[in-house]
Structure 1
């Protein structure tokens, strides 16, 4: 009996065929699982973090009003909680710093001032008014504009609204809004609540 005849004879046996078929199906199903599993294990692109978001917000402000940089120098006020405008947090302080840096990279001249008692108040109609302290500091540092902002905590996100206003009359020169995922990192920034 030739080797070829032996192989053909054994391949045609029902028992061998059933085992071979079962083994083949098992190998194919495992290969399919690894292909499917491979696509599920691809890492998702991480959500943008605060420096990226403030950079995009600054770019948006300047794109919507290229003349904004003419209102230099600018001073930055700490961003405050929308629920209590006399309260801020580590998040509010770092958001203001990052936003001022981002605007500086867009051509805005930024004066470094730590504005301890400066804030803005909100009237019942929602119009933003500069406090006397902010106006005094603007005059003292010869600032033509002021960076201000508020933030609000939601269930899944923190919403930040930033604006640059003209110091002489509180006219909004540029604004940008963004949201930040609420996670352990951002919660820890919010826990650093405190006054100015």
Structure 2
């Protein structure tokens, strides 16, 4: 076989191997870029749920007033709609229960009392006033404080304001606010609007 033919054959083999090598490198780089692109497009971290937010709020209350637990035992009132203070919902009832549980885990002694008509707001003044029934329930259960809360529905979030007040004079001992993503689950809890 003439030298030229052998040289050309050898050159073609090298070029074929070189092409395969380049194609391989291109494939590896495309896979790498794709993986990097996926790492930037990670799903966003899910928003915390009601329970997690209530527990954070309880921690915040205790952190801002470490003496809060001295005002034990505490009784809990159902959280009410800020738009109609004589109305609550499944959300108002469960958020009160979860918040009371979270405070109990932080060292607050909580008395189990299902309260009805436990508070009202003097709408013209906007101040929290404890009703006579709360005063009676507080003394009946030897409660030194009361958990109260309101919530408001926005377009994308449900806003919750909660506080622990001293039963004798309605002095706010601790408070916390948080917002919950308004998804279908939250909407279904709000549908049960009604009296206490």
Give me the TM-score of the superposition, normalised by structure 1: 0.87
**5+ residue gaps in structure 2?**
none
Partner of 2:12: 9
3-state SS of 1:124 partner: coil
How is 1:151-162 mapped onto 2 (pairs within 5 angstroms)? 151-162=151-162
The number of residue pairs the alignment matches comes to 192
Shift of 1:29: 6.0
Deviates more, 1:129-138 or 1:85-94: 129-138
Partner of 2:128: 128
Partner of 1:101: 101
Distance in 2 (CA, whole Å) between partners of 1:7 and 1:163 is: 85
3-state SS of 2:146 partner: strand
Distance in 2 (CA, whole Å) between partners of 1:24 and 1:105 is: 59
- How has the CA–CA distance of structure 1 residues 45 and 161 changed in structure 2, closer, same or farther, with 3 Å as cutoff? same
3-state SS of 2:44 partner: coil
Shift of 1:19: 6.9
Matched, 1:183 2:176: no
3-state SS of 1:165 partner: strand
3-state SS of 2:142 partner: coil
Deviates more, 1:19-28 or 1:60-69: 19-28
Shift of 1:42: 3.1
How is 1:109-124 mapped onto 2 (pairs within 5 angstroms)? 109-124=109-124
Partner of 1:88: 88
CA contact (8 A) 2:82 2:151 kept: yes
CA contact (8 A) 2:148 2:163 kept: yes
Shift of 1:22: 8.3
Matched, 1:147 2:147: yes
Distance in 2 (CA, whole Å) between partners of 1:137 and 1:96 is: 17
CA contact (8 A) 1:73 1:142 kept: yes
**5+ residue gaps in structure 1?**
none
Q: CA RMSD in A?
A: 2.5
Partner of 2:164: 164
3-state SS of 1:152 partner: strand
Give me the TM-score of the superposition, normalised by structure 2: 0.87
